[in-house]
Amino acid sequence: MSARGAASTAHQGEGAAKAKRPLAAALLVLALVWGVSAFSPFAWAQSPENASSSEASPSSQEAPPAGGKTDNDLDEQLLPDSSFIYDASIVDLYEADTYYDNQTVRVTGEAVGDNIRAGISGEYRWITLQATDSTFAEVSVFMTSEQAARIAELGNYGTRGDIVSVQGTFHLVCSEHDGLTDLHADSVTIIDEGYPIEHEFNVREFIPGIVMVAIGAILLFVFSRLRERLR
Amino acid sequence: MWQRFRLIDLRVICHYSGSIIIICAFTMFIPFVTALLCQEWEPAARYLLSGGITFVVGALLRYCRIEPGRLNRRQALAVTGLSWMVLGFFASIPLYYSGHFLTYADALFDGVSGFTTTGASVIVDLDHLSYADNMFRFVMHLFGGLGLIAIALSIGLFGPQSSGTLFSSEGRSEHVLPNVVQTVQFIFRVVFLGIALSTVIVMVLCLFAGIEPLRAFLQGLWLSISGIVTGGFTPMSQSVMYYHSLPIEFVLMILMLMGSLSFALYAEVWKGRLRPFFHDIDNRSILLWLVIVTVIFTASMSAGTLMTDLPDLMRRGLFMVCSAFSTTGFQVVTSNQLTTVFTSGAFLVLALTMAIGGAAGSTAGGIKISRVAIIFKSIISTVKETLAPDSARVATSYNHLGKRTLTPDIVRDSTTVFVLYVLTYGFASLVTIAHGYDATQSIFESVAMASNGGIVTGIVAPGMPLSLELFYIILMWAGRLEFVTLLAIIVQLVVTVLPRRKRKVQA
């Protein structure tokens, strides 16, 4: 938006005074550089919030592979272009039309359910990512076993799953997976670790139920006696 | 002349409804035991209390008439018709307090959907639901699919005198063996055998996929129950798509097809008579209908731009056709794909498949394929009569558990139910459109509700308009009873409530 605004300003300046053309061009270039640096993934990756979230995750602190580059580092080839949508919500993908098809997106959600083997080899896994907002929308994420192994907790009753950020390519109709809507992960980052939710046993909670069942049993017993008498 | 309910009728109806409610209380003790085994203490206490309340209400209602005597036809219709809604109400109590429903109406919707085996759900955050709550959802499916009255008859709650009337008033029920109780027990044997076999297979496949043993067993059990009773609930919110497993989808397709064939024909196979199975009007019509629908569906999808590859169509398309035909409601595509990827033609073909449904005497919903076949045969017979000489007498027959002659009574019954379904589909679509939804989606969703199909595209969702939700609840109830029983109850109640007209005094 800023770049577009700057371009518009430069265009007006061009009409007003031809002498100021070099200045306007310089402004335009500056605005473009600023715009790209402000909204590019590179800039986001350097932001303090992102740095802290990565540090908070023990999974992301694993020893980097050869070459000093982890899987969670941003892929520098993913420059902003027509096939790149930056942060998207899971509900966006859940309600996606063809606009999102084959786009690179980054989504964040809770890993829920099971770590499901994809195919026979076990090289890849399926993880279900659920939106953490009130929509509870879900997307199936296709990732390598190594990426999936970093997810320690999967959400279910009594467990809040790991909050995971996934960057990858979204397919509305995946040709590789017989038309499934899915997200092929390029990188997986653990944002927040999951934890068990304890439900303590409290015998008092059972007393009303026990009383009601006892009353029901007595009523049925009395009923059968009354019926026998009538016969 | 319309007959009114008298006080004695209402007392008898309450007594027998109490018996059905006691069965509902029993269904809640199954999740209670599950919760204890899985150490889910909050659901355990919740199901014990809900079961207790239901038990007390059921027991009290039996006091309305200590010696109720034999049920007459009108009373039997009322007991059958009302029990589905009453049980939905009691089932909604533990569901609502699970914290997974935004409103009480949502919980009631799922309760009715569970018992009527519709399979549509407005639950939120299903993937965090307890095992106990999930068990209850599938127990509802099992009891609803087998038939509440059938279960009550099999355990002798109604006594032998009333069995025939009650059994026939529940809809979808055919006499397989001479005795009604034997018939019911045979159906149960077939269903439980199917569930046991399928549970083992799906569990092994889930274990292979990396699901831990307890979850694998429970998911196998629940999917098997839902498949064979053509219910549609699944333990995960992504439905069958969640498992990413072609073998699981294949097993479930077989189960769905099993559930949508007439149980009467299984008895023939059981006795070693294969000929009636393959010559039956239901099975032949089903085969023909599935071929026609699949060809049209594939042609329509091929004309689109997205899901056009043969493997995609074979896996996703064929499964969806089976799910729609059996009115199960399992999905291997997202609701979003149904509206954005599927062509409008394919979308409407699925709706039409749901509208027709499976065989009579099965657990499938919809109009029933045999009714459509009988109407077609009647049309052909009429054309033959028109062309035949005046002296000729045209007799048409069909095969269903032996050769039968097509009589005007059979044609009338089939046509009545057919017309009632079509009118309901049309009316429900208009009601949904009036709520501001897209027309094709409205038709699809309305058919899914009235046929107990359960495949949804987004209209049925948490937070849907209350008026539409209540309307859909009535629609699922009416569809499960195939309308006639419900209409009879409504007429009886209206006549009972309305004051009598004073007879004109003749001068």
Residue of higher predicted confidence among A134 and B171:
A134
Residue A78 scores a pLDDT above 70: no
Q: Looking at chain B, how many residues does it have?
A: 507
- pLDDT of the residue at B393: 80
Of the candidates B131, B241, B243, the beta carbon closest to that of A157 is on B131
Hey, are the CB atoms on B209 and A213 less than 8 Å from each other?
Answer: no
Taking Cα atoms as reference points, which of B367, B187, B349 lies closest to residue B285?
B367
Find, in chain A, the residue whose alpha carbon is nearest to that of B101. Answer: A134
Q: How far is A225 from chain B (nearest CA, A)?
A: 10
- Cβ–Cβ gap A199/B41 under 8 Å: yes
Taking an 8 Å cut-off on Cβ atoms, the answer to whether B58 and A216 are in contact is: yes
What pLDDT sits at residue A22? 57
Whether A189 has its CB under 8 Å from any CB of chain B: the answer is: no
- DSSP H helices, B435-483, are 439-450, 466-480
Residue ranges of A 134-173 with Cβ closer than 8 A to chain B: 134, 136, 138, 140, 155-158, 172-173
Gap from A145 CA to chain B (nearest CA, Å):
12
Q: Give the whole-angstrom CA distance, residue B345 versus residue B30.
A: 43
Contact call for B41 and A155, based on CB within 8 A: no
Within chain A, all domains assigned CATH 2.40.50.140 are found at 80-196
Would you say residue A43 has pLDDT above 50?
no
Mean pLDDT is lowest, of A29-43, A86-100, B236-250, B349-363, for A29-43
Q: With a CB-CB cutoff of 8 Å, which residues 73-132 of chain A face chain B? A: 94-98, 112-118, 125-126, 128, 130
User: Could you report the average pLDDT of every consecutive run of 10 residues in chain B (507 residues)?
Assistant: 80 91 93 96 96 96 86 82 89 95 95 94 95 96 85 68 60 55 82 95 96 96 96 94 95 94 86 86 92 93 85 89 94 92 93 92 89 93 88 83 87 93 96 95 95 92 94 93 83 80 55
Q: So what's the pLDDT on residue B212?
A: 94
Interior/surface letters A90-113, b for 16+ CB within 10 angstroms, e for the rest? bbbbbbbeeebbebbbbbbbbbbb
A102, A170 Cβ separation under 8 angstroms: yes
- Going by C-alpha positions, the residue among A170, A131, A215, A121 that lies closest to residue B56 is A215
Q: What is the pLDDT of residues B348-396, one digit of tens each?
A: 999 999 999 998 888 888 999 999 999 999 999 999 888 988 888 888 8
Q: How far apart are CA B453 and CA B364, in angstroms?
A: 8
The fold adopted by the segment(s) A80-196 is OB fold (Dihydrolipoamide Acetyltransferase, E2P) (2.40.50)
Residue A45, pLDDT above cutoff 70: no
Chain A residue numbers with beta carbons less than 8 Å from the beta carbon of B40 are 157-158, 199
Q: How large is the average pLDDT for residues A131-150?
A: 94
Q: CA B29, CA B86: separation in Å to the nearest integer? A: 18
Q: Between chains, do B312 and A175 touch, taking CB under 8 Å as contact?
A: yes
Interface contacts A/B by beta carbons within 8 Å: 158
* For residue A4, pLDDT beyond 50: no
Q: Do B316 and A95 touch (CB under 8 A)?
A: no
Joined together, the tokens standing for residue B285 give 């019509």
Q: Which of B53, B50, B11, B261 is nearest to B139 (CA)?
A: B50
* Closest CB from A117, A200, A201 relative to B209: A117
The structural domains of chain B, with segments of one domain joined by +, span 1-171
